[in-house]
Structure 1
Amino acid sequence: MKKSVIILGAAVLLSACCERDGDALTPETECLLRTLREVPQKGYMFGHQDATVYGIGWDGDRDRSDVKSVCGDYPAVCGWEIGHIELGDPVSLDSVPFDRIRSACIEHFERGGINTVSWHLDNPLTGGSSWDTSGGTAVVASVLPGGANHQKFLGWLDRLASYLDSFETAEGVKVPILFRPWHEHTGSWFWWGKEHCTPEEYRQLWTMTHDYLRKKGLRHLLYAYSPAGGAPQEDSEARYPGDDRVDLLGFDYYQLNGTAGEEDYVRVMDDNLKRLVGMSKLHDKPIAVTETGFETVPDSTWWTRVLHPVLDRYPVSYVLVWRNARERPNHYYAPYPGQISAGDFMDFYGLPQTLFAGDVKRLDL
């Protein structure tokens, strides 16, 4: 039998829906922020990237997800990737129609779930992908005020703002979004990474993005600060854009090198979560593991023996594993029916600390 969940009534949540420093978020977005703070008292939410738009052996089926096919419930958190929205393309860099992403996001909100959005945008200087770092230190500088690509970048932000502003239910409710821009920046594999801009330039980039979207009237966005796991603490602190422009603290880190990488994975996760708790106390922000996973999950007990024990030691709001790519057979991070870890995932699902969409629905967002 699925675990019981302590329920926050709507009245309790709505009592927290107020203006922050005169900067009025939508009531639903305020309630989401309050929920991110309160959830660790009950457990942590489980999330999956692109969970309801494709999976292993299927693409575009309605009301489907690999997670649901295994445990009977949707993930509490769905992650969405909107790279190429800046180009005006009809599909994302993962070839998902942007109309489908919008619909899936609204559907997940209406089933009681939470949505988080990442943005792997193209390199505005070279025309390459997010991973094209050939422009070196010139790329970020080019989009900041006074740079050669500043107006071009503002046009990209206009397209981003227009798209996110369209995430609205039939009743006119803006769907709250946890936006996670400029992530993994303490590594150097993206053009906005550590070796390609100074801490001051990175903070300027974040501030410009945040403030421009606010000026465009988007009041349904929260912002997640998400450096690369394993990076030095001083790098995260030096590039932190400020408490008034961040709503959640997280990090991205994966288990690498197969089962032999388990010890390193647990050690780095522990170290990062300890540091994140310290930053949470300093900045008064909820925390999350914003990306993680073990590609192909070849360990039949990974969910309950490796992932859960480390998360259970810390006040984590949610954990999100990466996508189950339908176009790459060995690139998946959640189980599907018959996958070697599916049985253990059912045990993981049954733990009182793990919260899925059905549980979050009872929180009455």
Structure 2
Amino acid sequence: MPTTRTRRTLVVALAAGLTALIVTSLSPVTAPSAQAFPARDKQAVIDYLRSITGTSVVSGQHNKEPADQPGQYTQQVHDITGQYPGLWGGDLMFRGQDAANRQRVVDQAKAEWANGSLVALTWHACSPTGPSTCEFEGGVKTQISQAQFDQVVTGGTSLNQTWRARMAEVVPYLRQLKDAGVPVLWRPFHEMNETWNWWGGRPGTNGGAKIYQQMKDYFDSQGLDNLVWVWNVQDNPNASWAGYYPGSSYVDVVSLDVWYKNHPSQGDYQQIQSIAAGKPIALAEMGKVPNDSLLTSQPRWSYFMVWSEQLRGNNSNAEIQSAYFHPRVLNQGEVQLGDGTPTTPSPGPTDRTGPITGLAGKCVDVAASGTANGTAVQLYTCSPGVAQTWEVRTDGSIRNPNADKCLDVTGQGTANGTRVQLWACNGSGAQQWVHSSATQTLRNPQSGRCLDVTGRSTADGARLQVWDCSGNANQRWSLPA
């Protein structure tokens, strides 16, 4: 049987000129192997998402109701691409007939994990002001008063007791996954900044953050330590998402749903990274598959998940194939987990440390060997020392070890002439650099501009900036060997 990479190549060739019908007529592509993922704890998934940040992204597909067909949309991906997603998404559901089939969802999650896909679950929970099963309209998508919400999150009240009983109903299903060694990317109270749902649109410590915290505390008390807690907002143009954040100790992954636009803006990308503060980030719902532009300019998303019927409803076969065949995208069989043992980050084999030389043979230099945020970065006569020592990392950042800070475009700027400085490393687009061996340029993908010596000056102390890439001598840089 061909390897996954070989299968991908075959499908790409077919996709260039044939229809999806011909793709699906190929010999069946089997799952990589039974038990591709043995039992793991949640830390293995968290560590994995951290390890691929900046280099790769896991493909994902959500599967909505009916619960008796929990793999129908994942199968559609395979029908179109010959690949299965690297992440399977499901839902614990809300309608009576679907809640009655939660076991089918759990069984599918186990099978997907065994075949080598990560597992994600969300829960469209019915409001505790009504019955435990409901329709979406008027049950999940409904409004309750602030006074009612306050009762839901206040211990001892009738609504709080109802809500705790509601949570208890799903514990046995999640416990089955724990017992099977299946970590779950668990995304409760999704789109917390939106008001279409009964839990949303409530910023502050007594709002959505509190009900999220209480669920985690309760599930922790039930021994559900297999849950990777995914916090989520929608790309609502009102932004101010941090007001809904339950706190670092309650969150493992910070995620965004993209519905107001096809793809997240650079502002969305930066805001999510700012809230995450180094935690993995993800695109938890999308209607439009990512394209090369998104994957190149926003490289730190760790996974994406396309929403059920939007796969075919909002994307052509060619677009879906392009996403799944992209060299940065990891599908089932390409996701490789460790054993969950925490590791200490260290420079990888292609990380390089030393001086960066440029115009007139001079070096990129931290002014006065400074260590504070905002310290100027300049051109200066090369001399051994901490001010001219840089780590060029595989995640796209360039770090000065002495300051423990990164080469940064001031204020996330994208205009010609924006100065470059030192700033606390945060993984933002302002700190991403791509070196071209052909042109010797260092390009900042967020701005689309190159590291440049202001005014082509060769004087010591000439400031560095970003400017339209020209290939001129003042934009040529030699990295450490």
Deviations 1:322-356 (A, max 9, x none): 01xxxxxxxx22249xx971133223222111111
Task: Give the deviation of 1:146 after TM superposition.
Answer: 3.8
Identity %: 20
Deviations 1:177-218 (A, max 9, x none): 0110111111111111115x7542322211110000000111
Where does residue 57 of structure 2 map in the other structure? 44
- 5+ long unaligned stretches in structure 2: 1-5, 10-38, 132-137, 340-481
Does the Cα contact within 8 Å between 1:124 and 1:139 map onto a contact in 2? no
SS in 2 for 1:139: helix
- 5+ long unaligned stretches in structure 1: 4-25, 256-263, 295-302, 324-331
Give the counterpart letter for 2:158 in structure 1.
Answer: A
Distance in 1 separating the partners of 2:249 and 2:127: 27
Q: 2:209 aligns with which of 187, 203, 206?
A: 203
1:310-325 equivalence runs, <5 A: 310-314=294-298, 315-323=300-308
- Specify whether residues 63 and 83 from structure 1 end up closer, same or farther in structure 2 by C-alpha distance, changes over 3 A only: closer
Give the counterpart letter for 2:269 in structure 1.
Answer: L
SS in 2 for 1:226: strand
Q: 1:349 aligns with which of 324, 327, 343?
A: 324
Where does residue 132 of structure 1 map in the other structure? 142
Where does residue 428 of structure 2 map in the other structure? none
1:238-253 equivalence runs, <5 A: 238-253=243-258
Distance in 2 separating the partners of 1:34 and 1:285: 10
Give the counterpart letter for 1:102 in structure 2.
Answer: V
Where does residue 81 of structure 2 map in the other structure? 71
Give the counterpart letter for 1:229 in structure 2.
Answer: D
Distance in 1 separating the partners of 2:230 and 2:70: 28
| Length-normalised TM-score, structure 1 | 0.73
Give the counterpart letter for 1:320 in structure 2.
Answer: M
Q: 1:35 aligns with which of 48, 58, 79?
A: 48
Whose Rg is larger?
Answer: 2
Distance in 2 separating the partners of 1:74 and 1:54: 20
| Length-normalised TM-score, structure 2 | 0.56
Where does residue 103 of structure 1 map in the other structure? 107
Does the Cα contact within 8 Å between 2:190 and 2:232 map onto a contact in 1? yes
Distance in 2 separating the partners of 1:359 and 1:205: 36
1:1-365 equivalence runs, <5 A: 1=6, 2=8, 27-50=40-63, 59=69, 65-84=75-94, 89=96, 91-92=98-99, 97-127=101-131, 128-133=138-143, 135-144=144-153, 145-167=155-177, 173-194=180-201, 198-234=204-240, 236-254=241-259, 264-266=261-263, 268-280=264-276, 282=277, 284-294=278-288, 303=289, 307-314=291-298, 315-323=300-308, 332-335=309-312, 341-360=316-335, 362-363=336-337
Does the Cα contact within 8 Å between 2:70 and 2:105 map onto a contact in 1? no
Give the counterpart letter for 2:150 in structure 1.
Answer: A
Distance in 2 separating the partners of 1:176 and 1:129: 29
Does the Cα contact within 8 Å between 1:141 and 1:147 map onto a contact in 2? no
Distance in 1 separating the partners of 2:108 and 2:317: 24
More strand by share: 2
Distance in 1 separating the partners of 2:113 and 2:316: 28
- Specify whether residues 238 and 198 from structure 1 end up closer, same or farther in structure 2 by C-alpha distance, changes over 3 A only: closer
SS in 2 for 1:185: coil
Distance in 2 separating the partners of 1:77 and 1:216: 26
SS in 1 for 2:50: helix
- Specify whether residues 146 and 198 from structure 1 end up closer, same or farther in structure 2 by C-alpha distance, changes over 3 A only: farther
Task: Give the deviation of 1:249 after TM superposition.
Answer: 0.4
SS in 1 for 2:234: coil
SS in 2 for 1:154: helix
Distance in 1 separating the partners of 2:274 and 2:252: 15
Distance in 1 separating the partners of 2:315 and 2:281: 30
Distance in 2 separating the partners of 1:118 and 1:61: 15
Task: Give the deviation of 1:233 after TM superposition.
Answer: 4.2
Distance in 1 separating the partners of 2:86 and 2:70: 20
Task: Give the deviation of 1:119 after TM superposition.
Answer: 0.9
Provide the aligned C-alpha RMSD in A.
Answer: 2.9
- Specify whether residues 148 and 204 from structure 1 end up closer, same or farther in structure 2 by C-alpha distance, changes over 3 A only: same
Distance in 2 separating the partners of 1:77 and 1:185: 23
Deviations 1:67-118 (A, max 9, x none): 0111111111111111339xxx5624xxx82121111100110111111111
More helix by share: 1
**Taking CA–CA contacts closer than 8 Å with sequence separation of 6 or more, which of the two structures ends up with the larger relative contact order?**
1
Does the Cα contact within 8 Å between 2:63 and 2:72 map onto a contact in 1? no
Distance in 2 separating the partners of 1:60 and 1:198: 35
Give the counterpart letter for 1:182 in structure 2.
Answer: F
Give the counterpart letter for 1:344 in structure 2.
Answer: E
- Specify whether residues 61 and 136 from structure 1 end up closer, same or farther in structure 2 by C-alpha distance, changes over 3 A only: closer
- Specify whether residues 230 and 90 from structure 1 end up closer, same or farther in structure 2 by C-alpha distance, changes over 3 A only: closer
Task: Give the deviation of 1:61 after TM superposition.
Answer: 7.6
